[in-house]
Chains A and B, each alone.
Chain A
């Protein structure tokens, strides 16, 4: 195993353990804080995989903005605490479905690649190259995404303002 693989495995284990705590925590605020750990370790995995720009965008947007939104959502809705209040009764069935999906995916990946097959050489992609790629080949999707963000912003404001007439 190379040094990159060791770093990857460490971050991946931290991420998976924190993700399990996200879906099993009994306290909603703790679930949100475990989500921070998961998202940060995914960002670290991006850095290990030589995707520097995506890694920092992940830290900025997910850890910086989305988790804060989640915390605001939790505080505005007075979420209850306790397993029965947060989980439904079909927990065993959900566990079964999750494990089945995991087994199916692992089987497919093994079939497609095997354990050691494609060793990927990591080449650092600078933000300049990514910017060039976006604005040369993906201008239209980029504009569409910015339009989606604008529409979502307006929609969120319209939805969450109180109706004055009623």
Chain B
């Protein structure tokens, strides 16, 4: 027996911490870490509502989100390493080739 708002508040806290991290950090790897925090917040919501509605779809979709997050981290880090190899920096403020 657990109160659902507790679960939702935890997830809201993790999500806003992740938003702060994405906005405040300038190192690309740390931004990816903050994105992971936000994806985890989504997963907690999915598990909580899967318990509320007694429907396993929430847990299945949490597994899908974990798989997509793994793919995202793999591609993201490959891009970061490629940027570092070409520009000698992964500071997102300095990677502004496409900025007008």
Contact = CB atoms under 8 A, between A and B. Distances in A.
Interface of A: 2, 4-5, 8-9, 12, 15-16, 19-20, 22-23, 28, 31-32, 35, 38-39, 42, 45-46, 48-51, 53-54, 57-58, 61-62, 65-66, 69-70, 72-74, 76-77, 79, 85-88, 90-91, 93-95, 97-99, 101-102, 105-106, 109-110, 113-123, 125, 129-130, 133-134, 137-138, 141-142, 145-146, 148-149, 151-153, 155-156, 159-160
Which bucket holds chain B's interface residue count? 35 or more
B contact face: mostly helix, strand, loop, or mixed = helix
Contact of A113 (B8, B15, B24, B43): B8
B24 A70 contact: no
Nearest to A22: B33
A8 B24 CA distance: 29
Nearest to A86: B27
Nearest to B49: A120
9 smallest beta-carbon distances between A and B, as pairs: A98-B20, A94-B23, A23-B21, A152-B71, A105-B12, A102-B16, A94-B24, A159-B78, A156-B78
Contact of B2 (A5, A22, A87, A91): A5
Interface in B50-89: 50-52, 54, 56-57, 59-60, 62-64, 66-75, 77-82, 84
A31 B30 contact: yes
